[in-house]
């Protein structure tokens, strides 16, 4: 990723990314008619909503203005995946895999923001980076457990 120079723009982008991730997981959940998949996706959406809310609060506090979404802003293509791809028996594996990769990219992004910030902003981005890393670990654990249940053995 390119070095972050403008924290306001980076924060603006981060909020959009969290909003789109939340909307992605919610739309995917709405497409599912399998209760445990719907539950998993709603939990992922809640993770992203929490990040969005924390970032919006920081944005308003730091810049003295409410965040306003830019409908023309384009965020990470991986978040634009269509939910109907995941209707087969491996849907939970795909959810965990997609979540892991998404959380990894977010952790990397927040690490850059942390390095480019100071004070309260630096601490907030450090906390978000750690949350994303914890979500990565959760997604990986779920992936391993689900894969083991589907294929009948532990591959990792």
HEC string for the chain: CCCCCCHHHHHHHHHHHHHHHHHHHHHHHHHCCCHHHHHHHHHHHHHHHHHHHHHHHHHHHHHCCCCCCCCCCCCCHHHHCCHHHHCCCCHHHHHHHHHHHHHHHHHHHHHHHHHHCCHHHHHHHHHHHHHHHHHHHHHHHHHHHHHHHHHCCCCC
Q: What pLDDT band is residue 9 in, cutting at 50, 70 and 90?
A: confident
Higher pLDDT, 79 or 50: 50
pLDDT in tens, 72-88: 887 765 544 444 555 55
pLDDT in tens, 119-147: 888 998 999 899 889 888 888 887 887 77
Domain boundaries, the chain: 7-151
- At the top level of CATH, the class of 7-151 is mainly alpha
Q: What pLDDT band is residue 154 in, cutting at 50, 70 and 90?
A: low
**pLDDT of 152:** 66
């Amino acid at each position: 990723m390119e070095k972050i120079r403008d924290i306001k723009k980076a924060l603006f982008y981060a909020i959009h990314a969290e909003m789109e991730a939340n909307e992605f997981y919610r739309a995917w959940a709405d497409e599912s008619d399998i209760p445990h998949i719907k539950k998993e996706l709603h939990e992922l959406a809640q993770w992203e909503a929490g990040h969005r809310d924390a970032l919006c609060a920081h944005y308003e506090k730091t810049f003295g203005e409410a965040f306003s979404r830019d409908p023309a802003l384009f965020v990470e293509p991986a978040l634009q995946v269509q939910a109907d791809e995941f209707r087969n028996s491996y849907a939970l594996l795909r959810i965990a895999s997609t979540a892991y990769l998404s959380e990894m990219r977010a952790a990397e992004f927040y690490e850059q923001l942390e390095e480019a910030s100071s004070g309260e902003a630096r601490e907030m981005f450090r906390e978000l980076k750690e949350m994303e890393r914890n979500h990565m670990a959760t997604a990986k654990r779920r992936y391993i457990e689900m894969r083991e249940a589907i294929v009948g053995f532990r591959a990792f």
